[in-house]
Amino acid sequence: MRYLIILLFAALPAFAESPVTVDEPAVCFQCHDDVEEQGDQRHVHSAFDGGKCSDCHNPHAARHAALLNEDPRAFCLNCHEETAEELKLNSSHAPAASGDCGTCHHPHASDHAGQLRRAAFQLCSECHVQVEDWLARPVVHAPVDEQDCLGCHLAHGSDEERLLVEGVPAICLDCHDVDDDFVALHEGRAIGDSDCTACHDPHAAQRPSLLRANQHDPFAEGDCATCHGSGTNRNSFEIRMDTSTLCLTCHEDLGEEFERDFHGHLMQEGSCVNCHNPHAADGEALLIARQSVLCMRCHFEEAAIRGEKERFLTHSGMDCIECHLPHGAENSLILRSLDVDLCLGCHEESHRGGHPVGPEIIDKRTGTAVTCLSCHQLHGPPHEFYLPLDPSMDLCIQCHKK
């Protein structure tokens, strides 16, 4: 018996080391016949074309969806080293940065170059829904009309804002020659360091020459010297004085708001033009973007990068300034008021038969009056009704412990 056991143990390594031969991908296609058909498409991923499914997928079990051997982002970048370098640049495409390569690319094969799931213009339009509006405008920039997004933008990462191939005005001057007519239209001013998009919409517009719809009075009247000076300074776009001082020479009523305790970005470099276009814009108040986009560039920026932007855009259909003061406020939330009246302006019926609020009701946690913000969180709440904690128990026992 002792010899038999020894013989069995001696044989074990031979079994452990004997390789298991699997006919890939034929054995996989016995179940995944739909995947086999993908090999007939025009652009086939080299990893898929090699026929070794187990290079990417674990045949038994995995921690990742589709039985992938690794996290998709790291997995793709193991081979696509050039994309990994692009993602280190100053701006990156959100799906690529978050590792969701499959948003744009099919992992096996496609009839479109780069294994794109659909034609590039169609694919871009699915997220950038404003494209439909651009195409309906009377003046459409040639690259947009020709559906050539990649003529101006890079797909993964760029050192320039908005994933541009190169900076403005260089990218514009690649197509638009600086001839006599061009110089005359720009009053002979130097444009070497100017921002063409300050006046022109790079995609489409209602006005000729892609000029933006709403125009600052001095710009509309052709009175550049009001802000930029004249004489020896005529060949430059340099402004006559610092931005905030210049703007307040006309917008005197905003001076008091500048002095409030919170929203001090108005005194930072750029000041007013961080939010307003000094020449022309598509939106009201010459804002450089919709409020939901513009404000998110500074507020909740990390949430936007993580793809959680929509969770922080609460009160659907309302602009940020309906609750917040854009230029300055006396509270850190830059709200128009911390009083319950701010909310009751819309929510008239709220809590009439429920939780009391007001100056006579004291929050035991803070020693201050109970307001709407004592229980509700305006942005990014995890629970319904803008509640930061589970209302079935966790929220209430913050104060009601007995």
Question: What are the DSSP E strand ranges found in 52-138?
Answer: 91-92, 109-110
Give CA separation, 233 vs 5, 182, 220, 236, 237, in Å. 99, 19, 21, 6, 8
Distance CA 255, CA 246 (A): 12
Give the list of residues 6+ apart from residue 200 with CB closer than 8 angstroms, or none.
209, 210, 211, 212
Distance CA 158, CA 231 (A): 39
Neighbouring-strand partners of residue 262: 329
Per-residue pLDDT at 302:
66
Give the list of residues 6+ apart from residue 12 with CB closer than 8 angstroms, or none.
none
Q: Which residues of the chain have pLDDT under 70?
A: 1-19, 192, 230-236, 264, 301-309, 351-353, 402
Per-residue pLDDT at 4:
45
Per-residue pLDDT at 339:
81
Per-residue pLDDT at 131:
93
Give CA separation, 322 vs 49, 255, 268, 337, 345, in Å. 56, 20, 24, 11, 11
For the chain, the structural domain boundaries read 26-117, 118-211, 213-335, 337-402
Per-residue pLDDT at 301:
67
* pTM listed for this prediction: 0.69
Neighbouring-strand partners of residue 218: none
Per-residue pLDDT at 232:
55
What does the pLDDT look like over 54-78, one tens digit per residue? 999 999 999 988 999 988 888 889 8
Per-residue pLDDT at 15:
47
Q: Residue 139: in which H helix or E strand, if any?
A: strand 139-140
In contact, 266 and 272? CB cutoff 8 Å: yes
CA angle 267, 263, 365 (to 5 degrees): 150
The count of C-alpha atoms lying within 13 angstroms of the C-alpha of 382, restricted to the half-sphere facing its C-beta, is 6
Per-residue pLDDT at 9:
47
Written as one string, the DSSP assignment of 233-300 is GTT----SS-HHHHHHTT-GGGHHHHTSSB-GGGGSTTGGGGTB-SSEESSGGGBSS-HHHHGGGTTT
Picking from 368, 164, 322, the residue whose alpha carbon sits closest to that of residue 357 is 368
What the block records as the tokens of 275 is 């939010």
Distance CA 319, CA 322 (A): 6
